[in-house]
Chains A and B, each alone.
Chain A
Amino acid sequence: MAAPKRNLKRRSPGLRRAFPYLLLTPALLYLVAITLYPGIFAIWQSLFDVRFQGWTFIGADNYTRLLQDREFWAALGNTAIIGVISLTLQTAIALTVSYFAYRDPFIRGWRIVYLMPMLFMPSAVAFIWKLAFNDGRVISNLLIRAGLIDNNVDWIGNIWLARMELIVADVWQWTPFLFIIFVAALQGQDQEIEEAARLDGASWPAIFWNISLPMMRPVIVVAVTLRGIDITTMFTNVFVMTQGSPGGATETMSYFIYRQGFKMFSFGYASAASVLMLVLTVIVAQTVVKRAFRSGKSA
C-alpha cells in the first residue's frame, strides 16, 4: 500500500515520523510487559533449582535433565500426535460440511446450530465428554445397545482410546470454528467459474476438488494454522478428562509444564520446559504463521 499523503503542516517532521510509533506504543508496552517479561523471567528462572524463595543456581542442569526426561519427550510426542489427528479430522469434516452447507438456503437460517459446540465453555465441554465416556458410561452403553460391543470400554486405560477421548472432545468443539470460516470463504468465491465447470459437465466432487479447494487454499491455511496453534496448547481437556492417564499417554506439553510447576513445585524445571516450548513457538511463528498470514491477506 502506498503511503497516504498527510497534511501535517502544523507538525514538526520529528513528530510526524514519530506519530505512528506513538500510536503503537501503549499496545506494544503492554504486550512486551506480558510476553517479554515472562520470557526473560522464565529463562532466568530455568537456570535455578527453585524451592520458592530458595533459588540455587544450577546452570543448565534443568535443561540436561529435561532432555533426558522420558515424560518431557512423551509430552512433546503426545501433543504432536493428538494435534495432527485432531486437526486433520476437523479440517476434513469442516470442509465436507461447509461444502454442503454454503449454498443451502434452508441451512443458512440454521447455521447457528453448527456453531453451538464452539459456544460452550471449554471446561464444560470437557465435562460433557468425561461424563459421556467415563463416569456416566453413556457411550459404552450406546455401543452395547447397538450390538457393537459386549462390555463397558476402558477408555482411559488404553493409550489410543484415551487420546481418542481428547480428540473427540476437541473435534466436536472446534470443527465449527473451521466450518464458519470455510463457509464464508466458499460464499466469497467466484460462483461463475464453478458454474462454468458445471455446464462443462464436471461432477461435484471434481468441482470441489479442482476448483473450490484451490481457491480456498489461503483461507484454509490461515484457519488451520490458528487452530493448530490452539491445539498445541491444549490444556483444559487434559486437566478435566485424563490428567495425563494412562501412564502419561495423554499428557500434553501444557499439562506437563503445569504439573511440574504447580503440582511438583519445581518451578525452575517448569520454566526450562517453557523456554524450550517458547523456542519451538518462535520457530513455527517465523516460518509457518508469517507465511500463512501473508498469503491469507490476499484472500
Chain B
Amino acid sequence: MTTPRKKPRKTRGESLILRYVVLGSWAAVCLLPIIWFGTIAFRPRTEIITPTPIFWPTFSLDAWYLLISDWPIAKYLRNSLVAVAGSVVIDLFLAIPAAYALARYEFRGREDIGFYILSTRMMAPAIVAVPIFFLFKNMGLLDTVWALMLVYAAINLSLTTWIIRSYMLDIPKELEDAARTDGAGDLRILWEIIMPACLPGIITAAVIAAIFAINEFLFTLLIASTPNAYTMSVALANFTGGSDGVIYNAIALVSFIAFLPILILVILIQKHLSRGLTMGAVKG
C-alpha cells in the first residue's frame, strides 16, 4: 500500500454539498425512469406513443383490464413461482453437501473442483442454448416448467454453492468438535450444527438464486413458447408481437408486479447482499 501524499496545507475534508449533489443526482437517475415508467402503467395506450411525449397523461386502468381479462397473468405468475421455487430447492439440495465438502474437508482436487463449479457461472447462456434446446427437445420437456426449473437450477448452482461455502468457512470449528466428541456423525453435524449456523448464508443464496431465476430470459424464451410455460420475464416480451403492437402500459404494469416481490426479498437480505452477489468473495 502506498502512503498518502502529504499536502502542504490542511484541507477540511470532503464537502457535504458535493456529497449530496452526487448522491442526490444519482438517486434521481435511479428513480426518475422508474417513476415515469410507473405513469405508463396508468395511462391509456393512445397517450404513450405520440408525436411529442405526454408527461401529464390521463389516468387510466386500461392495462389492468387487459391483464385481467385477456391474459393468463395468474398462470405466468404461477409458472414463475413453480419454476423458481423448484429450482431453488434443487439448488439447496445439491449445493449444501457440495459446499460442506469444499469448506470442511481436505481432499485431492478440492481447489480444481471448486473452481470448476465456479466456472460454470461463466458459461454464456447463448453457448449452451442450442444444445440445451435439443436436449430438452429429446426429453420431450420443451415448453414445460420442469425444463425451466432444471435450467434455473443449473444456472444458479455455482452461485449457491460458493455463497454457502463462504458462510460455512466462517463457522468456528469448536462448534463441530464439541458435537463430534459427543459421537455425532458427519451428516448429523451438517444437519444439526452447520446448517443452522450458516442459515443466513443459505437464505442469502436462495434469495439471490431466486432473483436470477426470475430474471432469466434467453433460456426461458427458447424453452417456453406457450402460456404453459411462460414466466413473467418472457410474458413481458409477449406484449410486443401481436396485432395489437407493443403494449407498453401492460408491459409497465407486469414489470411492477414482478418488481414488488423482488424488492421485498432484497430488503430481507440487504445486509448480506454484497456477499451474496460476489458469491461469497466479499464479506459485507
Kindly list chain A residues whose C-beta atoms are within 8 Å of the C-beta of B154. Answer: 30-31, 34-35
Measured CB to CB, the nearest residue on chain B to A232 is B124
Measured CB to CB, the nearest residue on chain B to A139 is B53
Measured CB to CB, the nearest residue on chain A to B52 is A141
Whether A117 contacts B130 by the Cβ 8 Å rule is no
Q: Is A285 an interface residue (CB 8 A)?
A: yes
Whether B131 contacts A210 by the Cβ 8 Å rule is no
Kindly list chain A residues whose C-beta atoms are within 8 Å of the C-beta of B217. Answer: 121-123, 235-236, 239
Measured CB to CB, the nearest residue on chain A to B93 is A26
Measured CB to CB, the nearest residue on chain B to A141 is B53
Q: How far is the CA of A184 from the CA of B281 in the complex (A)?
A: 12
Whether A127 contacts B161 by the Cβ 8 Å rule is no
Whether B125 contacts A185 by the Cβ 8 Å rule is no
Whether B107 contacts A17 by the Cβ 8 Å rule is yes
Whether A38 contacts B218 by the Cβ 8 Å rule is no
Q: Is B83 an interface residue (CB 8 A)?
A: no
Whether A180 contacts B131 by the Cβ 8 Å rule is no
Q: Is B48 an interface residue (CB 8 A)?
A: yes
Q: How far is the CA of A1 from the CA of B165 in the complex (A)?
A: 14
Q: Is B255 an interface residue (CB 8 A)?
A: yes
Kindly list chain A residues whose C-beta atoms are within 8 Å of the C-beta of B130. Answer: 38, 42, 45, 257, 261, 267, 270-271, 274
Kindly list chain A residues whose C-beta atoms are within 8 Å of the C-beta of B23. Answer: 97, 100-101, 104, 107
Q: Is A229 an interface residue (CB 8 A)?
A: yes
A80 to chain B: closest CB distance in Å? Answer: 14
Whether B7 contacts A172 by the Cβ 8 Å rule is no
Whether B34 contacts A38 by the Cβ 8 Å rule is no
Whether B282 contacts A185 by the Cβ 8 Å rule is yes
Query: Secondary structure of the B side of the interface?
Result: helix
Q: How far is the CA of A96 from the CA of B18 in the complex (A)?
A: 11
Whether B180 contacts A7 by the Cβ 8 Å rule is yes
Kindly list chain A residues whose C-beta atoms are within 8 Å of the C-beta of B29. Answer: 172
Q: Is A177 an interface residue (CB 8 A)?
A: yes
Q: Is B60 an interface residue (CB 8 A)?
A: no
Kindly list chain A residues whose C-beta atoms are within 8 Å of the C-beta of B214. Answer: 121
* Residue from B13, B232, B270, B279 within 8 A of A111 (CB atoms): B270
Q: Is B134 an interface residue (CB 8 A)?
A: yes
* Residue from B126, B158, B284 within 8 A of A274 (CB atoms): B126
Q: How far is the CA of A7 from the CA of B93 in the complex (A)?
A: 25
Q: Is B61 an interface residue (CB 8 A)?
A: no
Whether A261 contacts B232 by the Cβ 8 Å rule is no
* A interface, size bucket: 35 or more
Measured CB to CB, the nearest residue on chain A to B275 is A184
Q: Is B85 an interface residue (CB 8 A)?
A: no
Q: Is B140 an interface residue (CB 8 A)?
A: no
Q: How far is the CA of A235 from the CA of B122 in the complex (A)?
A: 14
237-267 of chain A: CB within 8 A of chain B? 239-240, 253-255, 257-258, 261-262, 267
Q: Is A289 an interface residue (CB 8 A)?
A: yes
Contact with A along B18-48 (1 / 0, CB 8 A): 1100110011011101101100100000001
Contact with A along B96-115 (1 / 0, CB 8 A): 01101110111100100101
Q: How far is the CA of A83 from the CA of B240 in the complex (A)?
A: 27
Whether B113 contacts A28 by the Cβ 8 Å rule is yes
Given known A-B contacts A119-B263, A128-B33, A27 and B122 have beta carbons under 8 A apart? no
Whether A290 contacts B115 by the Cβ 8 Å rule is yes
A27 to chain B: closest CB distance in Å? Answer: 4
* Residue from B5, B150, B176 within 8 A of A202 (CB atoms): B5
Q: Is A146 an interface residue (CB 8 A)?
A: no
107-141 of chain B: CB within 8 A of chain A? 107, 110, 113, 115-135
What 8 pairs across the A-B complex have the smallest Cβ distances? Answer: A124-B255, A38-B131, A3-B106, A184-B274, A296-B281, A254-B126, A184-B284, A20-B105
15 A/B residue pairs, CB under 8 Å, sorted by A: A3-B105, A6-B186, A23-B97, A41-B131, A110-B27, A121-B217, A121-B255, A123-B236, A128-B37, A131-B48, A181-B274, A202-B11, A226-B277, A254-B125, A271-B131
Give B residues with C-beta under 8 Å from A: 1-7, 9-11, 13-14, 18-19, 22-23, 26-27, 29-31, 33-34, 36-37, 40, 48-49, 52-53, 93-95, 97-98, 100-102, 104-107, 110, 113, 115-135, 150-151, 153-154, 157-158, 161, 169, 173, 176, 180-181, 183, 186, 211, 214-215, 217-218, 221-222, 232-234, 236-237, 240, 246, 248, 251-252, 254-255, 258-259, 262-263, 266-267, 270, 273-275, 277-279, 281-284
Known: A20-B107, A27-B97, A101-B23. 11 other contacts (CB 8 A): A34-B120, A38-B127, A42-B128, A135-B248, A136-B49, A200-B6, A222-B281, A255-B126, A257-B129, A274-B127, A296-B278
